[in-house]
Amino acid sequence: MKVARRICVVALCFAIAAYCQGNSFDKIRYNGGTIETKVKPDDWGNRLTVTSDLIRFELKDGQVLEIDPASVSGLSYGQEAHRRVGTMVALGILLTPLALFGLFHKTRLHYIGIEFTTPEGKKSALLIQAHKNNYRAVLLALRGATGAPVAVSEEDRKYVPVGVEAVVAKSDEAQSNNAKAGVVLVTSTPESAEVWVDGTFIGNTPAKLNLARGKHKIKVSLAGHKDWEREIEVFPGSEVSLSALLEAE
């Protein structure tokens, strides 16, 4: 019994020590960030360590990037990490050819994006590639330390491990359609009137409509009141407010 207890105590001590040291991953590629390096983008010799207090990324050449988990505003995986490469470029982040290759070819590479704010208040990001044998553990560790959900594409959702909150990002087509739309806010006096767009019933006031660019006919109707109608032209990214004053019949 004493021997068994000693074994349990030793095992518990090792578990506590491992927890305190955090999660360290040796097979990590560096594909984008603020660090200039000659380490090749296909080199797995970098290390990522994640604890509740610090995210530490050590490049093979000795350079280190430290990130406060509380400063992390978003995580992304797979194709969604690829898509956010454009944002990284806008932030002045250096990207390797391997990352750009993945962006255009959407291969099954386990990219992980970490978006954060520097101590100076600047928005920044880190793009890494985890190994097929450790990417799930990396996502779990980052999610646990930062509390940030992981943005993924619809088809990549199945690769995110159970227990990690994932937000499915809209497809490129959906985002493109949204970019071509405008917002129309419709209110009425009295309220709860019916809203019709191009002859189709949409809902009741107050209503927020996302309409495709172009001309649309808006009708607001309420029993016992005269119909209110307007023809408007919607422009991409615009926001228009319509207030219908309904006259009693």
In terms of CATH, what superfamily is 180-245? Answer: Immunoglobulins (2.60.40.10)
* pLDDT given for residue 15 in this prediction: 38
Q: Residue-wise pLDDT tens for the chain (249 aa)? A: 444 455 444 443 433 343 344 689 999 999 888 888 888 888 999 999 999 999 999 999 999 999 999 999 899 998 888 677 656 656 666 766 665 555 554 456 799 999 998 898 888 889 899 999 999 999 999 999 999 889 988 888 888 888 777 888 765 544 555 556 788 899 999 999 998 988 887 778 888 888 888 889 999 999 999 999 999 988 888 888 999 999 998
Residue found under tokens 């002045």 = 92
Q: Note the CATH architecture for domain 23-169.
A: Roll (2.30)
Q: Is 119 helix (H, G, I), strand (E, B) or coil?
A: coil
Q: Where are the domains of the chain?
A: 23-169, 180-245
Among candidate residues 203, 190, 196, the one with its CA nearest the CA of residue 230: 196
pTM exceeding 0.75: no
- The order of strands in the sheet holding 194-197 is 200-204, 194-197, 214-221, 228-234
Max intra-chain CA distance, the chain: 92
Asked if residue 206 has a cis previous peptide bond (ω within 30° of 0), the answer is yes
